[in-house]
Each structure stands twice: as structure tokens, then as C-alpha cells.
Amino acid sequence: MWEFSINPESKTPKYKQIVDSVINGIEKKQLKIGDKIPSINAISETYLLSRDTVEKAYNHLKERNFISSVKGKGFFIANTDLVSKIHVCLIFNKLSDYKRIIYDAILEGLGDTAYVDLYIHHCDPEIFENLVNKKLGEYSYYVIMPNFPVIDERVNRVLKKIPDHELIILDREIPELMGNFGSIYQDFKNDIYEALESKLDKIKKFNKLNLVFPVDEIYPYPKEIIDGFRRFCQFNKFDFQVIGEIGKDRDIEKGEAYIIINESDLINLIKLIRQKGWKTGENIGIISYNETPLKEILENGISVISTDFKEMGMQVANMIQTKSFQQIRNKFSFIERKSL
């Protein structure tokens, strides 16, 4: 039924040949869960290999959960699912509602054909390097959202360790990192510019635009958003301002519009509007950044400029399934509602 195939002439180490042989047997369903595989002694005798070599191979298989061992009994196939599925290593900078949407979309897109493990680097290059070093080779694909405050030499070096045909970079472009890897990126600067431009007539009803851009040293938002916002305002001759947050005692004035990145700033602004007895969409315009379900019904509808995170996740799944590693710009759109 199932046999090792060891080629003594091959350049690949023998212990790896054994490992591959077993995995191959599982892939071809010649080995099933619970099956006993030959003892170390048996293999080493019949295939004229050293005991240590076979043991090394079996240890590797055990570490990767393909086989289990019982002292005095033998080695047994522990898991057949693991090999028949694609393994995806997904690395985010942090968890957020939007990350979850991406994660769920990837899972849904890949269905039962894949395992997706999620890791978080917390924008710490140290953690990131350790992570990639440790996981390199264990997965078939690495989907990574870098989003470090600074993409430095170190991060690039780590990313370059991953073969192009296994790497998909999410969210941000990394121009310094050359290669033929996959990429599903947001063009933050042009995204916001184009989205605002598309509803220029609506926005013109307001005489000043405020961008509420949170200052976060550790998990920074892309500064390109500010660039795009500035360019739009200057090109269309809008009075504008970039502010860090909307506090509870902020002075707001009629006829101004706010583009709000953060949910907490959005909540504070709506509270302020209600305090004054004003009406969202008439006295104050609101454009919220990134869609969530509740924004559809909040204040009769909050207008949103948003990346399609579900689309992003589905693109990842699609890229993996078709193995067509391209550079794709992710959808970004203006969802018009009553608030502007």
C-alpha cells in the first residue's frame, strides 16, 4: 500500500525525504488517521538508514502534528486534515472591527480548503521578526498587513525572506520592497481625494471641512489620508483644518462638515450636535471613515467613505485559489446618506 521512497543520490537530506514521504502518503490517502507507521528500527534496517536519521524525521513530523508517539508502542498518524488543506499565516498589526471583516472574508472565501492562523505583531518589528522567523516554512501562504509606524530596513529584510509566490501584502504599498508578490492595497491619498471629488456638489453646501485625524504613535493611521484631504481642499478652494480629536467641550459651528476617522470622535460630535439642538446633515455635515452596519441607521444614516474590507478579504482568498499574484488596488467608495 504505502512505502517510503528514499533516494540515496538525492541532494535533499534523507530525513526530509522521510518527512515528505509520510506527508505524501497522507496526501494520497494511503495513510489514514490512527494508522501505525513502521518503527524507527524497522525503517533504519530495511532502508539502510541510521536510527538517528529516522528519529530526526519522526521528530519533525511529531512537531508538526502529523504523527504522535506512544512509548513502547510506536508512531501513529495523528492528523490527516492538516496536509490536505492549504495553510495560511495571516499577520495583522492589531485587531479591529475591520480586521475581523477581512479575516472572516478570507475564511469564507477559502472555505473548507484552508486553515487560517491569525497572528498580531502590534506594530513591533521585534515581534514581527520573531514571528516570521518562527513560522517561515510552516505555511503555504503568508498574508501580511505591515502597517508599521516606519517601514524600516529590518521589516523589509524580514519580508524578503518570504518567497514572492507565498506572500500577499495587505493595505499599504511598500515601494521599497521590490518583487512579484501579491498585494491588495489602498491608495489612501487618491482614495479620499477621489471619493470627496465624486460628491463635490454635496460638500459645497458646507463652508469649511474638518478632518478629525487621531494621533496615535503606536498604531498610526496613514498620513496619506491627510495629504489627499489637503489636496482636495486646496484644489477646490475649501477652508479646511486638521484636528486631532473631538473633545466633549469642543466648539462647533454651523455650516461646517467633519470627516471623522474614529468611532469615539463620531460619537462625541453627534452628542455635541444634539446638545445644540442642531440637525446632522443640515447644520453640520458628517462623513465617517470606514463602514459599519450601524452607520446605516444612525442619525438617519451617516455618510461614509470606506474601503471595502470584505472585498479585500475575498481578493486574498481569490488570489490564493487562483495563484495569480498581482498588485490590486482595493475598492474605495462614497456611500451617500443623510448626514451629508
Name the residues that contact its own copies, by CB under 8 A: 52, 63, 65, 68, 78-79, 81-82, 95-97, 100, 103-104, 115, 117-120, 126-127, 130, 133-134, 263-264, 267, 270-271, 274, 292-294, 296-298
Least distance to its own copies, CB of residue 198, Å? 26
Applying CB under 7 A, does 297 fall inside the site for DNA? Answer: no
Please tell me whether residue 8 binds DNA under the rule CB under 7 A: yes
| Nearest residue (CB) to its own copies, 100 versus 199 | 100
CA distances from 208 to 116, 188, 258, 285, 286 (A): 45, 22, 9, 10, 12
Amino acid letter, 240: F
Cα–Cα distance for residue pair 96/128, rounded to 1 Å: 18
How far, in Å, are 177, 238, 254, 305 from residue 235 at the CA level? 32, 8, 23, 19
Give burial (CB, 10 Å; 0-12/13-18/19+) of 152: exposed
Name the strand (E) or helix (H) holding 180.
none
Q: Is 141 in the site for DNA (CB under 7 A)?
A: no
Residue 37 C-beta: closest distance to its own copies, Å: 18
Residue 146 CA to residue 169 CA, distance in Å, equals 7
The residues, ordered by sequence, that sit 6+ positions from 266 with a Cβ below 8 Å of its Cβ are 260, 286, 288, 302
β-pair type (239-243, 284-289) = unpaired
> Shortest gap between Cβ of 115 and DNA (angstroms)?
25
Residue 254 CB-density burial (10 A; 0-12 exposed, 13-18 middle, 19+ buried) = exposed
Among 33, 42, 200, 267, binds DNA (CB under 7 A): 42
Q: How far is the CB of 27 from DNA (least distance, A)?
A: 22
335 binds, among DNA, its own copies, none (CB under 5 to 8 A by kind): none
Contact partner at residue 13 from DNA, its own copies, none, CB < 5 to 8 Å by partner kind: DNA
Stretches 62-70, 138-146, 202-210, 272-280: which one binds DNA (CB under 7 A)?
62-70
Q: Which residues bind DNA (CB under 7 A)?
A: 8, 11, 13-16, 39-42, 44, 48-53, 55-56, 58, 62, 69-75
